[in-house]
Structure 1
């Protein structure tokens, strides 16, 4: 059975980014009822390649969240032919506005986190800090970071990511105030991107 002592998290390259691997998002798992507070459940999780729609990876899991002070999630999968089978402890906090908030307890450093990550070559799902993972956006120049932010908004609205095309129409059900705020942000990012591109490429933009 795997454990924090058998991981390779402490030797990880700082150049590895979150997007290179797999992520367990606790809030998303609870929202989609893959994990249910107060219940004992089991199932499987699958990651897909957004570009090719091909399966990237899949794991099996079991989650016991009946007792908030003894809760856990068990993960089992194969990594390069080697079976991994271990439990990740859960923790709860009580926000001042009421209710209960669940957290993973990182098996590498014991921190409370909402997401656990498994980068290529890793064997344990652990926190971003434990693996010292960055994000793609942190590796980009400011010009491409603004471009990525503008494209993310266009993609969210269901339109083309090409900033030379018309801004996407308001999706059905979205409030106009939200739509206009996103449009203003996108235009600002595009202006900054174009301005930096003009400086970089000698006024071609």
Structure 2
């Protein structure tokens, strides 16, 4: 698996979110009985659209949790007609409140994680950090921050400015140098371009619905 640790995986587009792709939650699978500590197991993981119930994707897996020190989950599926077949090692910790908690060892970074992700266009399941994934809520918050900054700049030019939804940029205030005014206007355009782009991406994801693992 060494080849997965370099190249495009660490340069993944930061605009991608967790909700754009597929997620494998190890402890949810254990709670649901899809993976059982102490035995070997094989089955199929299937994702469905949370809004329509339509099947989105499916992969085969084998889980061997007989001995914690040698435990793994083997994933096998096709991506763009190319077969993918690899093992993801598992490890355990003992929480203070008792019991055992299982973890994936990310096949790219070696990081201990509870979930693995596969964004659109990538053949591998790995940690969120590897793909630099955000959450939709983070995308929305980033958009809001950009637009709030823009609004403050608009208010600097015109105290009567109500919102950043106004189409017109306020005129140059009396006493402000043109260089300062032009720089402020450029910054307003820059912030609002970024803010609305993030907001459009966030809104575009809402009707589609996320993928739920069954």
- TM tier, smaller: 0.5 to 0.7
In structure 1, what is the equivalent of residue 172 of structure 2? Answer: none
User: Please, what is the CA RMSD of the aligned residues?
Assistant: 2.1
* 1:133-183 CA distance string (max 9 Å, x none): 001110104898xxxxxxxxxxxxxxxxxxxxxxxxxxxxxxxxxxxxxxx
The alignment partner of 2:53 has SS state of: coil
Whole-angstrom CA distance in 1 between matches of 2:25 and 2:36? 14
1:21-170 maps to which residues of 2 (within 5 A)? 21-141=21-141
The alignment partner of 1:48 has SS state of: strand
Q: What TM-score results when the alignment is normalised by the length of structure 2?
A: 0.64
Greater RCO (Cα-Cα under 8 Å, separation 6 or more): 2
The 4+ residue runs of structure 1 with deviation greater than 4 A are 198-202
Task: Give the superposition deviation at 1:97.
Answer: 2.3
* 1:80-135 CA distance string (max 9 Å, x none): 11110000000011122221110000001001110000000111110001111001
Which is further off, 90-99 or 74-83?
90-99
Whole-angstrom CA distance in 2 between matches of 1:111 and 1:105? 6
Number of matched pairs = 148
Whole-angstrom CA distance in 1 between matches of 2:135 and 2:93? 27
Match of 1:6 among 1, 4, 10: 4
Whole-angstrom CA distance in 2 between matches of 1:37 and 1:66? 6
Shift in alpha-carbon separation, 1:142–1:82, aligned structure 2, 3 A: closer
1:188-199 maps to which residues of 2 (within 5 A)? none
Shift in alpha-carbon separation, 1:132–1:143, aligned structure 2, 3 A: closer
Whole-angstrom CA distance in 1 between matches of 2:141 and 2:62? 41
Larger radius of gyration: 2
Whole-angstrom CA distance in 2 between matches of 1:133 and 1:141? 15
Shift in alpha-carbon separation, 1:11–1:46, aligned structure 2, 3 A: same
Residue 7 (structure 2) pairs with residue 20 (structure 1)? no
Q: What TM-score results when the alignment is normalised by the length of structure 1?
A: 0.67
Gaps of 5+ in 2: 145-161, 167-214
